[in-house]
Amino acid sequence: MHLSRVDLNLYMVFETIYTESSITKAAERLNLTQPAVSHALGRLRDAYEDELFVRAGRKMVPTPVAKAMAEPVQLALAQLQKTLINPTHFNPAETTKHVVLGMRDVVESVFLPRVMTCLQAQAPNVSLSSIRIDRQNMESELATGNVDIAFDVLLPIKGAIEHEVLMSDKFAVVVRKDHPLTRGEFTLEKYLSHSHIVVSSRRSGVAVEDFELSRRGVQRKIGLRCQHYFVGWQVIRETDMVLTVPEGYARYQQLLGDTVVLPLPVDLPSLEVHMYWHKTVTNDPANIWLRELFLQMALTETGIE
């Protein structure tokens, strides 16, 4: 099969179905009808003599052939998209770029207020979306340009994704102001005697601090597992539960009052947050400007080394 015999728009459809795992969602994102997307998929199936995607429940699951195609197609589309932009000229004051960041709530809380203040001063026409992306989809989201920069702990990644440490932060303990742990010496024994909150987007599995505690032969009681630190923060204001969080986030939220930040009574490794971007935008002036903006803020952020 020769490339000249294939409509390049079909690869846009392929990539969108691959990312969304749904013909309906792909149609919405491409602003096409579902029959049009299904027809395009049919043409691709004929060209590759493979089903490419098979239905499993409500999802369209890629076949081995589609999985092998995905990364080359995503890279090619990202490179084509770059040709539509003049890479030699970038002026924050003039750009109308829409920035998409893959963030979790801790990074959002610490950085977004300052980022928006900076954007309003330096790049008033820039708009920003902060989204939560599944870690398994991070590479494809960066490869397609759907996300400009992602922020997360150190993850196993492929060579097409580059990363840099944004900040290194210690853990701290947060309790309400009149909590029993605020009286007397705060020891590991006292820390373990209370019910704890774990914040995680996963249904199960231990948190980083639990893994490190288990290596020291101790275990804490988990009374609540929730998805967002903000929710955990509201719970500790009303109960005797304990929340362990990155210290920078704890100091930021402490400004709202009603809580006390205590040092974690056991030495744990610092938590590193990395910036991730695709190598196709390593030298892109807009992406460089964004990365430098976050690095500068991390250097000056109170409580973050």
What pLDDT, in 10s, does the model give residues 209-260? 898 899 889 999 999 999 888 899 999 999 999 999 998 888 877 777 789 9
3-state helix, strand, coil in the chain (%, to 5): 45, 20, 35
Show Cβ contacts of residue 225 under 8 Å, excluding neighbours closer than 6 positions: 197, 198, 199, 200
Higher-pLDDT residue of 153, 149? 149
**Burial class of residue 299 in the structure, from the number of CB atoms within 10 Å of its CB (0-12 exposed, 13-18 middle, 19+ buried):** exposed
Domains of the chain: 3-82 (1.10.10.10), 98-166+273-300 (3.40.190.10), 171-263 (3.40.190.10)
- Tell whether pTM > 0.85: no
Query: In this structure, what token pair is assigned to residue 278?
Result: 């695709």
Instruction: Say yes or no to pLDDT of 13 above 70.
Output: yes
Average pLDDT, the chain: 89
Q: Which residue has the tokens 């969304």?
A: 20
In the prediction, which pLDDT does 69 show? 93
Residue 302: pLDDT above 50? no
Give 69-123 pLDDT, tens digit per residue.
Answer: 998 898 888 878 767 665 567 899 999 999 999 998 888 888 999 899 999 999 9
Which residues make beta-bridge pairs with 222? 196
pLDDT at 201 over 90: no
